Chain A
Amino acid sequence: MKKIDARGLSCPEPVIMTKKALSSGDREYEILVDDVAPKENVTRYAEHQGYKVSITEEDGVYTLLLKK
């Protein structure tokens, strides 16, 4: 599974990183973000691309699990 660490980055960078990563066409990705706006924006983008997104939070870090 591909992992993307977008912690500390502000939008749109996490979404751009996600977009670039998704171009490889894998079925699963794990994306780390630590702010609410990137969490929402990455989720929205991934859902538009047909992925199901599940989110867990620990110590202010959100782990977004993308599955197709």
Chain B
Amino acid sequence: MLDAKNEKILMIGAGAVIGCIAAVLVLFGNPANMGFCIACFIRDSAGALGFHSAAAVQYLRPEIIGIILGSFLLSLFRGEFRPRGGSAPMTRFLLGFAVMIGCLMFLGCPFRMILRLAGGDLNAVPALIGFVGGILLGVVFLNKGYSLKRTYSQKKPEGKMISVIAVFLLAILLFFPSLLKFSEEGAGPGAKHAAIVLSLAAGLAVGALAQRTRLCMAGGFRDAFLFKEFTLLSGFGAIFVTALVVNLILTGVTPGTYFKLGMAEQPVAHTDMIWNCLGMVLAGLGSVLLGGCPLRQLVMAGEGNTDSAVTVLGYFMGAAFAHNFGLASSGKGPTSAGMIAVVIGLFAVVCIAWVNLKGNEKA
């Protein structure tokens, strides 16, 4: 095992590589400030499979498949693949659903929030404030004894199911793409993507690095508040700094714009500060209650955690629901239905936290 100093160096190195990969994916075709966005990419994938019919956001994102398989393969290789589950899967499904509603209010998961900041999108500042606020609220519940109880060992095939599904989806994307729905050129972010092989390789690399380092966007602030432990947060910082630097370099040496400071007319973003903030309060709180941000859930699912796999299904359904009922924001701004959904989501998540406090089991 690495000592604390080497652990931090590894974390910062991994964060730097991930930040670089994310920025470069935009150069190769991904939507601006969206080298990675777990929420957006799960939403696009739900669209590609026909779970919603928002024509602007349909594409089976190889990054998602790559992250799951990258984590799966590295955990297998390192002897860290541990099939386990049974810690309140239904509750986790709902929490995942709610986190996705929050992310789609802001238009990004915590990972994309960093990338948006690194692209100069200041709408991500109120989002970051909300995210940290949500995490603080989650920490209060953790300190009061919030728990979803323990997991249990599962059989190996159970732990591998999500990776099998990922391989199956990859095969469909490669060999039977006509079965899927794809956003047409110019229709929206779904139509912008890097080549499949690049996206897949990027996903595999990020999945493996995140598996090795336990990188988590929500865990960084959580551990800083709970234990004054800054290792995870240093990964978060490294992603930001590297993506910012690469964005500035790309803006200098290519004809495209990868950094634009301000709030107005940012790519795949809106300027409503209050709802950007509240959306991420929901995402931050929900992520702490789940034990990790959407990226971390994908990685843990790959490692054989079936509760995380169920959480990913919750994200998936949340994304489909958000687009079927007009809850997701767009560049034009949030929708009234989305605002109502975020408020209901916050209420529901606080209720879930409350009933799972130590001593409240009978509720």
- Whether chain B is bound by chain A comes out as yes
Seen from chain A, the residues whose Cβ lies within 8 Å of a Cβ on chain B are 7-13, 15-16, 19, 34-37, 40-41, 43-45, 47-48, 55, 60
> Taking chain B's interface residues, is the majority helix, strand, or loop, or is none over half, making it mixed?
mixed
A8 touches B151 (CB 8 A): yes
Those 9 A-B pairs whose CB atoms lie nearest each other, nearest first: A8-B150, A8-B151, A10-B291, A36-B80, A37-B214, A9-B150, A45-B227, A44-B4, A13-B147
User: Can you spell out 27 A-B residue pairs with CB atoms less than 8 angstroms apart?
Assistant: A7-B150, A8-B84, A9-B151, A10-B305, A11-B219, A11-B291, A12-B142, A12-B219, A12-B223, A12-B226, A12-B227, A15-B226, A16-B142, A16-B143, A16-B226, A36-B82, A37-B214, A40-B1, A40-B7, A40-B214, A41-B229, A43-B1, A44-B4, A45-B227, A47-B4, A48-B227, A60-B153
Please measure, in the bound complex, the distance between the C-alpha atom of A52 and the C-alpha atom of B87, giving whole angstroms.
Answer: 31
Total interface residues in chain B, CB < 8 Å: 27
Cα A15 to Cα B87 in complex, Å, equals 18
A10–B231 Cα gap in the complex (Å)? 18
For residue B325, CB closer than 8 A to chain A, the reply is no
Chain B residue nearest in CB terms to A6? B150
Chain A interface helix/strand/loop/mixed: helix
B7 touches A35 (CB 8 A): no
For the complex, give the distance between the alpha carbons of A12 and B219 in Å: 8
Interface string of B7-19 (1 = CB under 8 A from A): 1000000000000
Q: Is B222 an interface residue (CB 8 A)?
A: yes
Which residues of chain B are within 8 angstroms of A41 by Cβ–Cβ distance?
223, 229
The CA of A15 and the CA of B7, in the complex, are separated in Å by 17
Interface residues of B (CB under 8 A from A): 1, 4, 7, 80, 82, 84, 87, 142-143, 147, 149-153, 214, 219, 222-223, 226-229, 231, 291, 300, 305
Q: Which residues of A contact B229 (CB under 8 A)?
A: 41, 44-45, 48
Q: How far is the CA of A26 from the CA of B231 in the complex (A)?
A: 26
Asked whether B222 lies within 8 Å of A12 as measured between CB atoms, the reply is yes
How far is A36 from B4 in the complex, measured between Cα atoms in Å? Answer: 15
Contact B1–A15 (Cβ < 8 Å) = no
CA–CA, A41 to B149, complex, Å? 18
**Chain A nearest Cβ from B317, distance in angstroms:** 22
Identify B7's interface contact among A16, A36, A44, CB under 8 A. A44
Contacts of B150 in A (CB 8 A): 7-9
Which residues from B are CB-within-8-Å of A9? 147, 150-151
Give the complex CA separation of A12 and B87 in angstroms.
14
On chain B, the residues within 8 Å of A34 by CB distance are 82
* CA of A43 to CA of B226, assembled, Å: 15
- Please give me the residue from chain A that is nearest to B3 by CB atom: A47
A45 and B224 alpha carbons, distance in the complex (Å)? 12
Contacts of A55 in B (CB 8 A): 1
- Cβ 8 A contact of B231, one of A15, A16, A35, A44: A44
User: Closest residue of chain B to A36, judged by CB?
Assistant: B80
Q: Please indicate the chain A residues that have their CB under 8 angstroms from the CB of B82 in the complex.
A: 34-36, 60
Is A12's CB under 8 angstroms from B291's CB?
A: yes
Across-interface contacts of B219 in A (CB, < 8 A): 11-12
On whether the beta carbons of A15 and B84 are closer than 8 Å, the reply is: no
- Docked Cα-Cα span, A34 to B152, in Å, equals 10
Q: Which residues of B contact A48 (CB under 8 A)?
A: 4, 227-229
Closest A residue to B75 by beta carbon equals A36
CA distance A10 to B148 in the complex (A): 9
